[in-house]
Structure 1
Amino acid sequence: MQPSSVAVEDFISPFINLDSDFYAATNYNLMSCGIRKSMSQLTINTMCLLKDEQTFLANGHHMNDTWLIERECLKDRNFRKPSEAFINSNSTVKFAFIRDPFDRFISLYLDKCIRENLCYNCGDDMRCVVRNIHSGLQKYQNHREWRPKGSYIDYHAAPLSWNCNFDRDLSKWHLLMIGSDLEERRSSLLLLENILKRQGVSDELIQKIHNESLSGETDHSTHKSPLRIKAEQQVREDPVVRDLLHKIYLFDYIVFPFKKDRLDAKYQTSFWKIPE
């Protein structure tokens, strides 16, 4: 297939803003955004700790706490809905974890589709899953509404660029790229620690975040799952799955500094641009 034969309208557009999850530690002039299937739990736990260290520690919380653990910080509207003045202040430092889109999809598939069986009654049929995600996101970008059924997975699968109001101020965010293995996790944490240190977070708290984030995995972490090898193989080799994943996530690879070698060769160029 020649690049000119690719229908650009089949691709999911970037920068369609969702109602995102922001978290504010105003005492450190720090704000983060939780992107689903991109270390969102670590993001929440880190920000909860920074917001109110005493309560976090008194309740015995940990960096690997999951959604099943009740946390006081999530009841605080100011924590979850920071003011526009705080969001837009030049002194507010913003960070978000971002993840290779294909890896993020695999994590979503293993967690929500295989483990929880929540994906459009598709079971483990990955082709069925990506078809439904693609059609759901197309409907939303065209009509700005979620389908009554399946919208939970659509929301989790939405492109990275749809999150965090990146459509407004992407250049103001520190983007921490994460991967699925320990070394990539360690590298992203080092970047986070540098941000925290500059914001005046104590060495003791930074060390706690570092140690606990590397010492265990959240209950829904999937990167060591035996099923992951099979899912990765299908993403690499299944032409239907690959075609739809390119149509869903291509612009994430363009907007963010991910390696493009995960993409098919015809998508590693600016194929959509009209020659002058």
Structure 2
Amino acid sequence: MDEREFTKWILNNMDLIVKDNKDPLPKASSFGAISNNIENICDNEPKTCVKKFIHLETRIRSSPKYNIAACLIQKNMSTVLQAIMCFLYDEVRFLSNERSLTRESNNIRLCRKNNEFNNVDKAIKNSNNSWTLLAFSRHPTDRFLSNFIDRCIRKPTKGIYSCNNCKFNMTCFIIKEYEHMIHEQNAIVMRKDFEDMHFFPQNWRCDFHKKLNNYSIIKYKNKNEKELAEVIKSLNDLLYRQNIGNSSLDFIKKEMLKSKTMHTTIDSKVRTYLEDRLISSSFLMEYIVRMYYYDYKLFNYSIPLLNFAF
């Protein structure tokens, strides 16, 4: 069974997933919350929330030809965005090598070390104000679910020890991941393993702690063709303003419309089941909010409403 076949099988094997997620979910808050209104909960109780603007990593891909630099965030269309920036770095080379935006994986990327930086200022040094910084943000709940299914079910990197030793149990993972984030945000040296790079907050990347207001942020959605079309239009408008030609814009648009890769989990039975379980549980969602509170706030997503039993 190859990876694509295994992905299809595991994402529709409900017996395994339901078996590991039968634990009853408490109705009350783990943190003693006494109100269902948690819009400002981390402003009032900062010690129980994951901090904003911890410096985790910055992965910049640049196109000096068009004065544009993009920051990659895992599970925010990062593979396709990296390919787009490689194409814009050298369109002729990209096309002459018969590369595709949807097949340009991280391990075989054409532009390795050519347009890659770990610091915004290095990427755009000696530049003028015509440079544009681009990043995709993703709804925190949607991003968490996508990461959990991809990293903990579809392709766990550490076998049975993956995902906080929780196997497929989402409740176990959420609680342990919250505790792990709280610990790591205060560590002198963060662990930064492969799972961390996927689950840690979006606002910890991209030099957002000092550059957030300089970025053009496109909200990444991929639940249906209409939402994907909105993302493509927003990106097309931004690239057009950087004087990128129509032929290149058409190529990017055409390729992005094919961008539902094997990593896409949105249409699976597992996704439907776990999403319903998560968003219907105020107990679990409070952990999600406390982990990603500043992603909700900084990228303008509504804080979910909770309904605790008192």
- Both proteins in one fold, TM over 0.5: yes
- Alignment equivalent of 1:108, drawn from 147, 154, 177: 147
Kindly provide the amino acid, as one letter, of the partner of residue 247 in structure 2.
Answer: E
Alignment of 1:130 onto 2:174 = yes
Aligned residues of 1:29 and 1:93 also touching (Cα < 8 A): yes
Match of 2:290 in 1: 247
Alignment of 1:142 onto 2:180 = no
* 1:68 positional shift: 5.8
Check 1:28–1:263 CA distance in 2 against 1; reply closer, same or farther (3 A cut). Answer: farther
Match of 1:121 in 2: 165
Kindly provide the amino acid, as one letter, of the partner of residue 74 in structure 1.
Answer: R
Check 1:197–1:112 CA distance in 2 against 1; reply closer, same or farther (3 A cut). Answer: same
**SS of equivalent to 1:96:** strand
Check 1:89–1:179 CA distance in 2 against 1; reply closer, same or farther (3 A cut). Answer: same
Match of 1:79 in 2: 116
Mapped to 2, the partners of 1:201 and 1:139 lie a distance apart of: 44
- Alignment equivalent of 1:177, drawn from 219, 238, 241: 219
**SS of equivalent to 2:185:** helix
Structure 1 residue ranges, 4+ long, deviating more than 4 angstroms after superposition? 3-6
Check 1:154–1:60 CA distance in 2 against 1; reply closer, same or farther (3 A cut). Answer: same
Identity, % of aligned positions = 27
CA displacement, residues 168-211 of structure 1 (integer Å, 9 cap, x when unaligned) = 02111100002232211211111111111111111111111111
Aligned residues of 2:75 and 2:146 also touching (Cα < 8 A): yes
* 1:265 positional shift: 7.1
Within a 5 Å distance, the mapping from 1:217-232 to structure 2 comes to 217-232=260-275
TM-score by length of 1: 0.87
Kindly provide the amino acid, as one letter, of the partner of residue 112 in structure 1.
Answer: R
Q: Which consecutive residues of structure 1, in runs of 5 or more, have no partner in the other structure?
A: 267-276
* 1:216 positional shift: 4.0
Mapped to 2, the partners of 1:66 and 1:249 lie a distance apart of: 30
* 1:27 positional shift: 0.6
Higher Rg: 2
Kindly provide the amino acid, as one letter, of the partner of residue 99 in structure 2.
Answer: H
Match of 1:270 in 2: none
Larger helix fraction of residues: 1
Check 1:69–1:54 CA distance in 2 against 1; reply closer, same or farther (3 A cut). Answer: farther
* 1:126 positional shift: 0.5
Which segment is superposed worse, 233-242 or 95-104? Answer: 233-242
Alignment of 1:31 onto 2:69 = yes
Check 1:144–1:241 CA distance in 2 against 1; reply closer, same or farther (3 A cut). Answer: farther
Check 1:201–1:220 CA distance in 2 against 1; reply closer, same or farther (3 A cut). Answer: same
* 1:134 positional shift: 1.3
Which segment is superposed worse, 168-177 or 118-127? Answer: 118-127
How many residue pairs match? The answer is: 262
**CA RMSD, aligned part only?**
2.3
Match of 2:25 in 1: none
**SS of equivalent to 1:98:** strand
Q: Which consecutive residues of structure 2, in runs of 5 or more, have no partner in the other structure?
A: 1-33, 157-161
**SS of equivalent to 2:116:** helix
Match of 2:300 in 1: 257
Kindly provide the amino acid, as one letter, of the partner of residue 110 in structure 1.
Answer: I
**SS of equivalent to 2:217:** strand
Which segment is superposed worse, 225-234 or 56-65? Answer: 56-65
Which segment is superposed worse, 20-29 or 123-132? Answer: 123-132
Which segment is superposed worse, 137-146 or 13-22? Answer: 137-146
Mapped to 2, the partners of 1:62 and 1:255 lie a distance apart of: 33
Aligned residues of 2:164 and 2:177 also touching (Cα < 8 A): no
- Alignment equivalent of 1:160, drawn from 189, 202, 223: 202
Alignment of 1:65 onto 2:108 = no
Mapped to 1, the partners of 2:53 and 2:259 lie a distance apart of: 34
**SS of equivalent to 1:14:** coil
Mapped to 2, the partners of 1:264 and 1:241 lie a distance apart of: 10
Aligned residues of 2:282 and 2:307 also touching (Cα < 8 A): no
Mapped to 1, the partners of 2:61 and 2:280 lie a distance apart of: 38
TM-score by length of 2: 0.78
CA displacement, residues 200-253 of structure 1 (integer Å, 9 cap, x when unaligned) = 111111111111111241221111222110111121123442121111011211
Mapped to 1, the partners of 2:306 and 2:235 lie a distance apart of: 32
**SS of equivalent to 1:95:** strand
Which segment is superposed worse, 63-72 or 37-46? Answer: 63-72
